[in-house]
Amino acid sequence: MRRLAGLLAVSVLLAGSVTGCGLDAAYKLPFDVGPGSIEPVPELEGLQITVGSKNFTEQILLGYIAEVALTAAGADIRDMTNIQGSPSARQALEVGDVDLYWEYTGTSWINFQQETEPIPDEQAQYDAVKKADAERFGIAWLDYSPVNDKYAIATTREFADKHQLKTMSDMVALLAEQPDLGSMCLESEFISRQDGLAGAERTYEFDVPDRNIKTFGVGAIYATLAAGNTCNFGEVFTTDGRILTLDLAVLEDDRKTFPQYNAAVTVRTDFLDRYPQLADVLNPVAAKLDNETILELSVEVDGDGTDPAVVARDWLVAQGFVTNPAG
């Protein structure tokens, strides 16, 4: 609870305006897109749709996937991906700076609905958050995808093998004996979230002293953790391709502290009511996505250095959703 106040304070500051968070610039896709199974939709032709995302690889990829798909349907897309943090992205949607972005069921349930107990079943968690968001905030959820990007704690393969770590309970037992090994690289948002460190401390009945916490941007944690000289443990996302490229060992959440985080497009209810065709375009795309796909696409971005917009387009072309006029 000691860290929750920080997140709440940030949320209050965001309530006034999000224009100071990098949302005052928008760009179009850097290439043309042709129709595939997604054909031009008359109701969406020329409609300006601003698509946002949070500021990590998977989110940016998902944002571009939505942008490319909607471009094939005829919409005029404004790219507002790479927004700093969950509260900023959500606030941008609520106030109309963006029209849609992909959110995670657990994030909305814990952070925006302020619920303290996650729902273990994917469908039940989705149904609950969809109902609550519609009633309380006028936010609609399109169909959720099989992508379930859960939080996890990871370490290097070498450290895990040396200390025989397979689960978070193993980690807690090790730190009870050798607390000096408990250095953790964490993002500031994860530290304060009830579905992050605060919840894990409660579930596993341990406490991470502030002196053991090293704060990094989410993108820097993976490389810092892999280097092995700053922290022994770090926060990761289970669908992040850097887990594969850096050969990190993800600890099993054996007490199930981290909620379900199925990704789905969120959109203001009034906007979806005016343009229900958005669901017809994006729901089939969501159904084709899964954890393995996102891992592979993330590796193309983080491992190979390919532009995420290009990765998103090429995947949609491979699935037959769109075509590439340039061949």
103: its two tokens: 């959110």
Q: pLDDT tens digit string along 172-183?
A: 999 999 999 999
Under a CB-based contact definition with an 8 Å cutoff, are residues 44 and 279 in contact? no
| Confidence (pTM) | 0.78
Q: What is the pLDDT of residues 20-61, one digit of tens each?
A: 344 445 577 889 999 999 999 999 999 999 999 999 899 999
Say yes or no to pLDDT of 15 above 70: no
Q: Is residue 6 part of a domain?
A: no
Distance CA 38, CA 71 (A): 10
* Mean pLDDT in residue range 224-241: 93
Residue 8 has pLDDT above 60, yes or no: no
Per-residue model confidence as pLDDT tens digits over 55-81: 989 999 999 999 999 999 999 999 999
Question: Is 256 within the bounds of a domain?
Answer: no
List the structure tokens of 268: 């203001």
Which residues constitute the domain of residue 123? Answer: 14-148+261-323
Taking only the tens place, the pLDDT of each residue in 105-125 is: 999 998 899 998 888 889 999
For residues 312 and 276, give the distance between their C-alpha atoms in angstroms, rounded to a whole number: 23
125 is a domain residue: yes
Q: Say if residue 305 is in the same domain as residue 291.
A: yes
- How many angstroms separate the CA atoms of 106 and 113, rounded? 10
User: pLDDT at residue 82 above 80?
Assistant: yes
Q: What pLDDT, on a 0 to 100 scale, did the predictor assign at position 26?
A: 59
Distance CA 150, CA 310 (A): 25
Q: For the domain that residue 299 is a member of, what is the CATH number?
A: 3.40.190.10
